[in-house]
Amino acid sequence: MSKDFDEANYLFANPDVANAVATGAFKSGYEHYVKYGKAEGRMWGESQRQKKALSMLNRQGIGLEIGPSYSPIAPKRKGFNVHVVDHLNTDALRKKYEGHGVNIDNIEDVDFVWNGQLLAELIGQSAMYDWIIASHVIEHVPDLITFLQQCQKLLKRNGYLSLIIPDKRTCFDYFNPISYTGAFLDAYYEKRIKPSPGQVFDHFSNACKNGENIAWELGREGKYKLVHDVKEAMDMMRKSRDDGEYVDTHCWKYTPDSFRLLISDFNALDLLDMHIVKEFDVDGCEFYMTIRSWQGRDST
C-alpha cells in the first residue's frame, strides 16, 4: 500500500467500497482504488463541506437529496443509496448548465422531477428515508413550514434532515432583513406555491455585490453595490404579479441564530416535531444544520 494512501478516508468517502471490503470482495480500500477507483476518479476523502453535511447520517441507509444539480453531497457514483429530486430531468439539467463552467458530469440521474407539488405525493411514499439532504434549497421554497412537514413525513422515525443554508450576511441578500416567524406563517396559511410579488421585488431590488463577489466570508469588508436597478426589479415583480410567472428568488433570509428561533417557534406552534441536533457555524457564505425528525417517537 502506498504510504500516502488514506485507507480510512477512502472507505469513509465510498460506502459501497466499505461494504465490499466488509464482505470480502476486496482485501482493502487500496486494492479497490488501484483496480477501479483511480480510473473512476474516486477521491480518498471528502471535502469539509461534505463531511459536515453527512456528519450525522447513516451512510448505509437510504436517502433523498433535493436539488443537488451539479454538486451532489451524497452522489450515487460514490455508492450512496440515494434518490434525487430536482426541478428538471437529467438531460434538461445538463443542457441548462452547458457552458456555465461547471462539471455537468456531476449531474446524476434525477428520480423525481419536482414541480411544486407535495414531496410525499411526488415520491408516493412516507417514512421511507433515513436521511434527506437539501443544500441551498430552503431559501427558495415559497412555504418553508410545509416543506419541513413534508420532509418529516418522508423520514423514518429518528431520521435526519441535513441542511446547508446561505447566511444573509455573507451573500447578495445582505441588504434584505432577516425573515421571522410571522412571514413564514403567512406563507403557510396562504398555502403559497410561488414567491410573492413583494418577495420578488425585494430580491431583485436589494441584491448586491461585495466588490465583485455575490458571496463572501463573514466579516469581510468591501464596497457594496446593487446588482439590478429598480426598473429591473419592477419588471420581475410584474412577471410574478401580472403574468403569473414563477420567478425564482431567495424568499427567505437566515442567520444561524434566526434559524434556531424559527425551528423553536414551529415546534412550539405544533407545526413541526423536528429538532436541531448538530450544527456547524458559518463557513464561507453558508452554515450547516442537521435536524432530527421525532415523528412517531415512543411516548415517555
Instruction: For 203-216, write each residue's pLDDT tens digit.
Output: 999 999 999 899 99
Q: How far apart are CA 212 and CA 215, in angstroms?
A: 9
Query: Residue 299's pLDDT band (boundaries 50, 70, 90)?
Result: very low
The residue ranking higher by pLDDT, 166 or 106, is 166
The separation between the first and the last C-alpha atoms of the chain, rounded to the nearest angstrom, is 51
Are 172 and 166 spatial neighbours (Cβ–Cβ below 8 Å)? no
- Residue 10 has what pLDDT? 74
Taking the C-alpha atoms of residue 102 and residue 15, their distance in angstroms, rounded to an integer, is 25
Q: Please state, rounded to an integer, the average pLDDT across all residues of the chain.
A: 91
- pLDDT at residue 7 in the model: 73
**If pLDDT is split at 50, 70 and 90, which confidence band does 93 have?**
very high
CB 192 within 8 A of CB 143: yes
Written as nine digits, the cell of 92 is 434538461
As given in the structure block, the three cell numbers for residue 69 are 444539480
- Residue 43 clears pLDDT 70, i.e. is over it: no
Mean pLDDT of 109-129: 95
Q: What nine digits make up the cell of 160?
A: 435526519
At 3, is the pLDDT very low, low, confident or very high (cuts 50, 70, 90)?
Answer: low
Predicted pLDDT of residue 21: 85
- In this predicted model, what pLDDT tens digit does every residue of 245-277 receive, in sequence order? 999 999 999 999 999 999 999 999 999 999 999
pLDDT digits (tens, 9 = 90+) for 173-201: 999 999 999 999 999 999 999 999 999 99
Provide mean pLDDT across the span 9-28: 79
48-293 CATH choice from 3.40.50.150, 3.40.50.1100, 3.20.20.150, 3.30.830.10: 3.40.50.150
Ordered alpha helix ranges (H), the chain: 7-13, 15-22, 29-32, 38-40, 48-54, 90-97, 119-123, 144-154, 181-189, 197-206, 230-241, 256-268
pLDDT band at 44 (very low <50, low <70, confident <90, very high): low
All structural domains of the chain with their residue ranges: 7-40, 48-293
